């Protein structure tokens, strides 16, 4: 099985999990998202959690948000190096807004990507948070990427 959840900024990327091949879904079609992510407010709580750890360079806190698949692929020191490279290229995330989500095609479990438009020290960029759904309410974060 190919690995393909990314930590991306510009042309740098790091593979973590199963391949994500998304299909854009209309923003109003939320019945398939986990219940805990169906409203924009709930999606922004997740965004704020990631951004707070990222901006404060709390790598251990950020690392603990992610699924065990990431922790098998990268130990904390390797993860720290990856995130520092991302931070060096993007800088601080100053604000953001949810734009849409995309469903992935995966025969083993349901994956989707939450997409945000963000403003960083380097300008306008995109943050994509890759999620694996577990039941109606639960989900696990598989990875994220930032790109322009």
pLDDT (tens place) for every residue of the chain, 148 residues total: 222 334 433 322 333 333 334 444 333 334 467 878 888 899 999 999 999 999 999 999 999 999 888 889 999 999 999 999 999 999 999 999 999 988 877 666 778 899 999 999 999 999 999 988 876 667 889 889 998 7
What's the token pair of residue 42? 């709930």
Pairing of strands 12-15, 6-9: antiparallel
**In the prediction, which pLDDT does 107 show?**
64
**How many angstroms separate the CA atoms of 26 and 32, rounded?**
11
**In the prediction, which pLDDT does 12 show?**
28
**In the prediction, which pLDDT does 139 show?**
83
**How many angstroms separate the CA atoms of 8 and 32, rounded?**
26
**In the prediction, which pLDDT does 49 show?**
94
Q: Model pTM? A: 0.75
**In the prediction, which pLDDT does 35 show?**
79
Question: Nearest 5 degrees, angle CA 23-CA 26-CA 29?
Answer: 110
């Amino acid at each position: 099985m190919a690995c393909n959840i990314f930590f991306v900024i510009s042309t740098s990327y790091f593979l973590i999990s199963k391949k994500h091949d998304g299909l854009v879904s209309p923003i109003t079609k939320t019945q398939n998202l986990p219940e805990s992510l169906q409203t924009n407010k709930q999606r922004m709580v997740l965004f704020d959690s990631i951004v707070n750890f990222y901006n404060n360079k709390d790598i251990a806190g950020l690392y603990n948000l992610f699924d065990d698949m990431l922790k098998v692929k990268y130990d904390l020191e390797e993860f720290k190096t990856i995130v520092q490279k991302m931070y060096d290229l993007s800088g601080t995330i100053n604000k953001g807004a949810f734009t849409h989500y995309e469903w992935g095609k995966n025969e083993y479990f349901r994956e989707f990507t939450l997409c945000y438009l963000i403003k960083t020290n380097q300008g306008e960029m995109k943050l994509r948070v890759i999620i694996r759904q577990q039941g109606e309410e639960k989900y696990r974060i598989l990875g994220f990427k930032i790109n322009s």
